Amino acid sequence: MTNRPYPIILNPILMSKVWGGRGLSRLGKKLPHDGPFGESWELADLASTSSSGGGGGAARSVIANGPLAGRTIHDALTMWGRGLLGEARPTPDGAIPLLIKFLDAKENLSVQVHPSPAYAAAHPGSDLKTECWIILDAAPGSCIYKGVRSGVTPESFRRSIDHGTVAEHLVRVPAVVGECHNLPSGTCHALGAGVLVAEVQTPSDTTFRVFDWGRTGRELHVEQALECIDFSEAPPATCLKPGQGRATLVQTEFFRVDRVRTESPIDAGRGMSAWIVIEGEGRVTGGDHPVAFDPVRVARGDTFVIPSGCAVSSRLEPDRSFDVVRVEPA
């Protein structure tokens, strides 16, 4: 045990999904058998999950390194408190205010929406779920569905559900590797077949399924969804442009997402941050500062957390180069 915060690598929580494939193995995930795996929960601190999302029960990431190896990230939060979170706000039930995943869609995900602010306020237990997708790989011709088309009304959208023509009323966006799509709570969306993404979101597992592409056996939530869908235009995509070493992809009231591509060391900054290694490998060190943690090796597909208590002295040092995503909770 240690009361001194140090950078922690998190073990993935693998989720079998009917729409998943084997693409998570390209990110270094050791898939246990030949079934379809759609999600790898990289950073999670949920006391409970839905039966259709996290399978029911708690979903809390287990630490892979250092004195707290084998304990959960919630244990680290209990022990370190502000030494982990810094000035970030915990969830109302005292948990880490982020959920980070990888998603591998071999088939289309269901068309879905998460609770809008108004719906969440009126229905205790239905939490907001604002998220973003960073596209890591995309098959030729693949797409995502993001928001409803201009002119679509709640009435016409309901008719499209009844007639099985929902896709015709959604904005179809080509999947472009490197682009980031912000999906505020209330945005109707679906990940298309052949797309692999990193997903950053608020820690909610509440999803209302609108349309499931003819698949049977999974519950739809039409009435709840229609109460939540925002019929205005969704935010545009962002990306790290050629020649840029760093860019903010998304900034919301809940989190900020930056992408950094460099051959030089990266200062961790202040406050708690979660990092996703998209490409490259290297180590997290104390830089030029005397700190009480051993260097931590990280590689493609790893997700790790730098606690607030050691952030100022922490630095990412690539072996050759790094392409990483930095997530900072609000």
Cβ partners under 8 Å of residue 114, min gap 6:
128, 129, 130, 131, 185, 186, 187, 204, 206, 207, 208, 228
Domain ranges of the chain: 15-43+92-228, 246-329
**Over the stretch 222-270, which tens digit does the pLDDT of each residue have?**
999 999 999 999 999 999 999 899 999 999 999 999 999 999 999 999 9
Determine the 3-state secondary structure of 211 from DSSP.
strand
Residue 292: the pLDDT is: 66
Residue 257: the pLDDT is: 99
Nearest CA to 172 among 108, 221, 114? 108
**CA dihedral sign of residues 217, 131, 206, 189:** negative
Mean pLDDT of 192-217: 94
Catalytic residue status for 89: no
pTM (two decimals): 0.95
What is the number of other CB atoms lying within 10 angstroms of the CB of residue 212? 20
Confidence of residue 39 (pLDDT cuts 50, 70, 90): very high
Q: Is the pLDDT confidence value at 93 over 60?
A: yes
Q: Report percent pLDDT > 70 for the chain.
A: 97
Q: For residues 214 and 164, what is the distance between their CA atoms, to the nearest angstrom?
A: 8
Determine the 3-state secondary structure of 120 from DSSP.
helix
Mean pLDDT of 73-86: 98
Mean pLDDT of 278-294: 85
Mean pLDDT of 94-98: 97
Residue 48: the pLDDT is: 86
Q: Please pick, among 60, 209, 259, 315, the residue that the annotation labels catalytic.
A: 209
**Over the stretch 305-322, which tens digit does the pLDDT of each residue have?**
999 999 999 999 999 999
Report domain 15-43+92-228's class.
mainly beta
Residue 309: the pLDDT is: 94
CATH number of 246-329: 2.60.120.10
**Over the stretch 119-149, which tens digit does the pLDDT of each residue have?**
988 998 788 899 999 999 999 999 999 999 9
pLDDT mean across residues, the chain: 94
